[in-house]
């Protein structure tokens, strides 16, 4: 169970990657009063948790409604996750959304759900991962462990964004890019493994 928790936490944290989102977060919240800043951080963490929980528990029903097979979803999810990993390795993840996000946020009083929680943090990669985990683990104990990992990631987002100026000053842009590349390798490996294992099962089933 500990292995499942750690694997889920690392996979989800690597996909959401709040460290690479910090420069965007700081630029969007520049000039916020302390109370407003921490309210935005709390709401963003909660909305990420909400999106992840909905993806985990309701994703299967969406698949059944559209008649999408488990193997097809895993291959599609693997492609999306691999793309996220490739973007991280090329230092484009999050930063490629920055301009559009800044333009969108100017017209909003509350930026915690959109654009911060979605699409900056909880994007298609993390949603695909959670739907695949829901299909893979159906018993109560395993799902409880995964849910605990999701909560832990959301709490980590709160801690990271709460201390964003200090972390950015300590690591610097080069440090953040290095961390993103390390996470990119993990994310890319997760996506490729998902594609390979799903394609093998699809071939063996003859579907």
Residue 168 lies in a domain: yes
Residue 33 lies in a domain: yes
What is the separation of C-alpha 20 from the centre of its chain, rounded to a whole number of angstroms? Answer: 11
**Residue 135: which of 185, 194, 84 has the closest Cα?**
194
Residue linked to tokens 């492609």: 79
Spatial distance between the Cα atoms of 57 and 59, rounded to a whole number of angstroms: 6
Spatial distance between the Cα atoms of 98 and 33, rounded to a whole number of angstroms: 22
Residue 207 lies in a domain: no
Structural domain span for residue 94: 2-202
Report if pTM > 0.85.
no
Compute the 3-state secondary structure of the chain and give helix, strand, coil in percent, each to the nearest 5: 85, 0, 15
For residue 107, what is the DSSP state? T
Number of domains composing the chain: 1
Per-residue pLDDT tens digits of the chain, which is 207 residues long: 889 999 999 999 998 988 878 877 887 887 788 898 899 999 999 999 999 999 999 987 887 888 877 777 778 878 887 877 787 777 655 555 555 555 555 555 678 897 888 878 888 888 889 998 998 898 999 999 999 999 999 999 999 999 987 887 787 777 877 877 888 888 788 888 888 887 887 777 655
């Amino acid at each position: 169970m500990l292995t499942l928790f750690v694997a889920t936490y690392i996979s989800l944290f690597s996909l959401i990657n709040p460290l690479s989102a910090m420069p965007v977060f700081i630029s969007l919240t520049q000039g916020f009063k302390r109370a407003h800043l921490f309210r935005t951080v709390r709401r963003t963490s909660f909305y990420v948790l909400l999106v992840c929980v909905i993806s985990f528990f309701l994703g299967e029903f969406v698949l059944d409604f559209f008649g999408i097979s488990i193997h097809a979803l895993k291959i599609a999810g693997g492609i999306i996750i691999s793309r996220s990993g490739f973007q991280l390795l090329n230092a484009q993840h999050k930063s490629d959304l920055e301009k559009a996000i800044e333009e969108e946020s100017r017209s909003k009083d509350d930026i915690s759900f959109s654009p911060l929680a979605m699409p900056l943090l909880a994007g298609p990669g993390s949603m695909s991962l959670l739907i695949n985990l829901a299909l893979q683990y159906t018993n109560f104990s395993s799902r409880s462990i995964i849910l605990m990992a999701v909560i832990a990631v959301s709490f980590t987002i709160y801690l990271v964004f709460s201390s964003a100026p200090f972390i950015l000053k300590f690591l610097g842009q080069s440090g953040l890019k290095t961390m993103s590349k390390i996470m990119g390798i993990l994310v890319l490996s997760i996506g490729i493994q998902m594609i390979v294992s799903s394609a093998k099962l699809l071939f063996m089933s003859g579907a």
